[in-house]
């Protein structure tokens, strides 16, 4: 081979190597430029921890207001009476006037503060009376009729009583009566008897 031919081959090979190098470099350079770099992702937004919203606790409802009960249709009511002997003692009240609005037992003291068949009436306030009478020790349901006589209030008790001329010991019964208007103790008529058939 001639010297000029050898130079030609070497020149061709050099050009080929040069193009290869340029191609590789371009691939390396342009390959990066063509392939987009991944965009940085924002960190996830973390919401502050908030406890679940609870409905406000409701204030306890006010207990229903106790309205006074209507008086019985027949005008009768029964009151349990406190007594020192722990017997089952009550009084059934037949209010024919319709003027009693509240009844309750009072608290008796020791023994008898009044004599048999007597009744003590006194004002607690302008429209409330305390009524005291005496009963035998034992279970009993006394009866009390409330009526008007000659414009005055009449309290008529019917209950068991000791035999005549007896020295039997009795115990106070105390009843508190509230009325729908002022009433004076001195204007009240009273009686205690053993039977409804007995006339005062």
Could you report the per-residue pLDDT of 60-97, keeping only the tens digit for each? 454 443 344 444 556 689 999 999 999 999 999 999 99
Given a contact cutoff of 8 angstroms between Cβ atoms, the answer to whether 120 and 132 are in contact is yes
What local confidence, expressed as pLDDT, does residue 195 receive? 74
169 to each of 78, 91, 112, 143, how far by Cα in Å? 25, 20, 8, 20
What local confidence, expressed as pLDDT, does residue 45 receive? 61
pLDDT band for position 163 (cuts 50, 70, 90): confident
The alpha helices in 87-153, defined as continuous H runs, are none
What local confidence, expressed as pLDDT, does residue 68 receive? 40
pLDDT band for position 186 (cuts 50, 70, 90): very high
Cα–Cα distance, 115 to 91 (Å, whole number): 19
Q: Which residues are bridge partners to 84 per DSSP? A: none
Listed range (10-24, 88-102, 130-144) with the worst mean pLDDT = 10-24
Q: What is the mean pLDDT of residues 153-167?
A: 89
What local confidence, expressed as pLDDT, does residue 74 receive? 61
What local confidence, expressed as pLDDT, does residue 12 receive? 59
Given a contact cutoff of 8 angstroms between Cβ atoms, the answer to whether 121 and 176 are in contact is no
What local confidence, expressed as pLDDT, does residue 53 receive? 55
pLDDT in tens, 90-136: 999 999 999 999 999 999 988 899 999 999 999 999 999 999 999 99
Cα–Cα distance, 65 to 91 (Å, whole number): 28
DSSP class of residue 102? E
pLDDT above 80 for 33: no
pLDDT band for position 139 (cuts 50, 70, 90): very high
What local confidence, expressed as pLDDT, does residue 70 receive? 46
What local confidence, expressed as pLDDT, does residue 75 receive? 63
The 3-state DSSP class for residue 197 equals coil
The 3-state DSSP class for residue 58 equals coil
DSSP class of residue 185? G
Work out the percent of the chain whose per-residue pLDDT is above 90.
52
Enter the pTM of the model: 0.62
């Amino acid at each position: 081979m001639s010297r000029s031919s050898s130079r030609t081959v070497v020149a061709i090979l050099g050009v080929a190597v040069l193009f290869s190098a340029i191609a590789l470099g371009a691939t390396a350079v342009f390959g990066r430029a063509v392939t987009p770099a991944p965009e940085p992702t924002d960190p996830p937004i973390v919401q502050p921890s908030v406890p679940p919203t609870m409905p406000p606790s409701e204030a306890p409802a006010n207990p229903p207001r106790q309205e006074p009960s209507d008086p019985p249709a027949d005008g009768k009511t029964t009151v349990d009476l406190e007594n020192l002997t722990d017997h089952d003692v009550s009084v059934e009240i037949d209010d024919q006037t319709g003027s009693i609005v509240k009844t309750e037992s009072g608290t008796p003291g020791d023994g008898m503060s009044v004599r048999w068949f007597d009744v003590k009436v006194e004002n607690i306030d302008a429209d409330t009376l305390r009524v005291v009478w005496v009963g035998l020790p034992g279970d009993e349901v006394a009866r009390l009729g409330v009526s008007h006589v000659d414009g005055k209030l009449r309290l008529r008790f019917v209950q068991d009583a000791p035999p005549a001329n007896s020295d039997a010991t009795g115990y106070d019964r105390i009843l508190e009566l509230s009325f729908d208007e002022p009433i004076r103790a001195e204007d009240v008529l009273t009686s205690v008897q053993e039977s409804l058939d007995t006339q005062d």
